[in-house]
Amino acid sequence: MAATTQAKAPKGGHKYQAVRAYLADLIVSELAVGDAVPSERVLTEKFGVSRMTVRQALDALVADGVLQREQGRGTFVAPQHTDFEMRLTTFGEEARRRGMVPGTQVLESGTTPAGRLVAEALGCGEDELMHYVERLRFADGTPMGVERAWVPVHLAPDLLDDGVPDSLYDALKVRGHAPTWGEDTILAAEATAKELALLAMNGGRAVLRAHRRTFSDDGACMYSQMCYRGDRYSVVVPLREARPTIVPRVQPDADDTADGADG
């Protein structure tokens, strides 16, 4: 029987770093999403270190989103996060820009009064009629977010006559209200029971909520909310020199926070 070769940490380095480096290389070269990594016992024997040292290496990779633990089952390679840059584009455009296939399921659509939150965001009366759309967004077949959007009816009376357009931004553009700029407010939150079910989130409840006001040259043209699953989604925010806020930010109440849309 061949003798077991014991790996060693680099001279002068922390022992857990050798375990972490080994696992990182294993994930890249041999394992796929959902595969189990070697157990703590196996790693302890392989590197000749304590179980606490092995756990430290695993904890670091879990914190980085590379691994995920499942209670009673073990530690597995986690699905990698999808980075979306916050720009005035649609979800579909951002997905395609990253080589992913976008998908949409319309959950609800119709006409409704603006209500307090939407009225404050768009600077209109609470009774003003809005087109309302709620959609589930997919990337490569995986549910990534739940979105809601409100568009003033007077800007596009026929917006939903033939069903929900693939892109609300494009639909506004052909009607003379091309979106030119917007403002996002991003909140960390917990998913509701409905969101957990729609997004097939079996682990944590963490989500990102983006509240967006979109403007065309002639004023506010859309208010939207998006609930992104925190285990598969990260946001890239380009930075520039600080400038005064053009319009006061909307500060949604906790009771008003819901899943939403980005056009």
Q: What is the DSSP string of 18-55?
A: HHHHHHHHHHHHT--TTPBPPPHHHHHHHHT--HHHHH
88-112 pLDDT, tens per residue?
566 777 767 767 788 899 999 999 9
Percent of the chain with pLDDT strictly greater than 90: 37
Buried b (16+ CB within 10 A) or exposed e, 142-166: ebbbbbbbbbbbebbeebbeeebee
Nearest to 147 by CA among 197, 200, 104, 97: 104
* Assigned CATH for 15-77: 1.10.10.10
pLDDT score for 87? 53
pLDDT score for 239? 54
> How far is 255 from 33, CA to CA, in rounded Å?
36
pLDDT score for 147? 94
Segments making up each domain of the chain, as ranges? 15-77, 82-256
Q: Is the dihedral of CA 108, 113, 118, 121 positive or negative?
A: positive
**Both tokens of residue 243?**
């400038």
Residue 2 has pLDDT above 90, yes or no: no
Q: Out of 62-66, 104-108, 132-136, 154-158, which region has the weakest mean confidence (pLDDT)? A: 62-66
At 20, is the pLDDT very low, low, confident or very high (cuts 50, 70, 90)? confident
> How far is 196 from 179, CA to CA, in rounded Å?
31
In the CATH hierarchy, which fold is given to the domain comprising 82-256?
Chorismate lyase (3.40.1410)
User: What average pLDDT does range 58-62 have in this prediction?
Assistant: 84
184-196 pLDDT, tens per residue?
888 889 999 999 9
User: What average pLDDT does range 117-133 have in this prediction?
Assistant: 95
> How far is 5 from 190, CA to CA, in rounded Å?
46
Q: Rounded mean pLDDT of the chain?
A: 80
Is the model more confident about 4 or about 70? 70
